[in-house]
Structure 1
Amino acid sequence: MLINQKILDSNKLDFIIRSALESDAEQLSHIRLQIDGETENLDREKGEGYIDEEGFKRLIQDDTQSRSNLFLVAVVHDKIVGFSRCEGSKLQRTSHKVEFGVCVLKDYWGYGIGKALLKEFIIWADSNAMKKMTLRVLETNDKAIKLYKKYGFEVEGILKKDKILSDGNYYNTILMGRFTETE
């Protein structure tokens, strides 16, 4: 699915939120690899689960054609600085929900880009009859957890000792969900 482009100004930074285009694929491949190396808040280590340009092109094509998927990018001065996806299920029993994920280059943290992407997905999910949004967040990612709670997500469960990080310790993953306003 596609959305209309939005130009935003948050914390003295102008940026654009728009649907991902096939022409973004090469840039997305590089940025995803960089982001994976900048934080342990995501599932992957740098280089794991690598998606090349062709892989991103296929993903963008699929998401554009799907009623229950949305792939957005955040752009500053023609450079993608973050991206986010909501992915729905093709299975009838879970077709009412979508899973949300977001990542932003570390140099662009604190400008409200992740928040802007989240808000766009909430608007999209609510207006497209998605009854539930879900996400997974590392227990140490306090800023993200606080943001998600502010926008109506609640803790639904905890996956104990779900990830091992570079310090050798195990950490929990928090499962969160948000139901549409009509529920």
Structure 2
Amino acid sequence: MMIRPIESNDAKEFLELNKRVDASGFMLHEPGERNTTVDQQKEAIEKVLSEERSAFFVAESAGTLAGFIAAFGGKMKRNKHSAYIALGVHDAFYGQGIATSLIERVYEWANEMGISRLELTVIKDNEKAINLYQKMGFQIEGEKIHSLMIDGQPANEYYMYKLN
């Protein structure tokens, strides 16, 4: 497995990975809801890559994109020390340490950039992800009540953070 920065020519495969990750039911997009085109995905990747305090890494295994992590850094003086992260791993690659490796790579990037706070949100019922984040040093900061509607039912999310 190799962790590397995403490239704009990864757009098609990354879009397929996103759709597979969405199918887990634990991401913001509903399964099957994503209707992004390859060109739109390419533009979105290029936009993140152009931002000075943001990063986007993929895990590649056997020539296939197996996971991703994106870190979106604050743009103002008061929040440029922080970054919001989004993580996804293809279900066929669960249990192989990909999520851990991606998070560790973001920790390296954050240290290089002088970012001292990483934050994320996670659906409260996603115990597997919560356990991973806690193992990696994240703490629950609070709860967003009824922040999502999943299958017509309100769902809560945890705010989680890690200080470097």
Offset at residue 97 of structure 1 (A): 0.7
1:96-149 alpha-carbon deviations (Å, 9 max, x no partner): 110011111111111111111111111211221002100001111112212212
Whole-angstrom distance in 2 between the partners of 1:143 and 1:30: 23
1:7-37 alpha-carbon deviations (Å, 9 max, x no partner): xxxxxxxx11110011101111122122212
How many residue pairs end up in the alignment?
A: 164
1:138 aligns with one of 123, 131, 138: 123
Give the TM-score normalised by structure 2.
0.91
Corresponding residue number in structure 1 for 2:160: 176
Asked whether 1:34 is paired with 2:16, we answer no
Corresponding residue number in structure 2 for 1:46: 31
Offset at residue 58 of structure 1 (A): 2.1
Q: Match of 1:61, as an amino acid?
A: E
SS of 1:94's partner is coil
C-alpha contact (below 8 Å) 1:33/1:50 kept by paired residues? no
The equivalences for 1:32-181 within 5 A come to: 32-37=18-23, 39-166=24-151, 168-180=152-164
Offset at residue 49 of structure 1 (A): 4.7
1:137-173 alpha-carbon deviations (Å, 9 max, x no partner): 111111221221222211111001222323x543210
Give 5+ residue unaligned stretches, structure 1.
Answer: 1-14
Give the TM-score normalised by structure 1.
0.82
Corresponding residue number in structure 2 for 1:12: none
Q: Percent identity?
A: 26
SS of 2:28's partner is coil
1:55-98 alpha-carbon deviations (Å, 9 max, x no partner): 22223223333221111111112111211100112233221110
Q: CA RMSD in A?
A: 1.6
C-alpha contact (below 8 Å) 2:19/2:34 kept by paired residues? no
Q: Match of 1:102, as an amino acid?
A: L
Whole-angstrom distance in 2 between the partners of 1:31 and 1:155: 28
Corresponding residue number in structure 1 for 2:8: 22
Give 5+ residue unaligned stretches, structure 2.
Answer: none
SS of 1:90's partner is coil
Whole-angstrom distance in 2 between the partners of 1:138 and 1:126: 27
Whole-angstrom distance in 1 between the partners of 2:87 and 2:150: 19
Corresponding residue number in structure 2 for 1:7: none
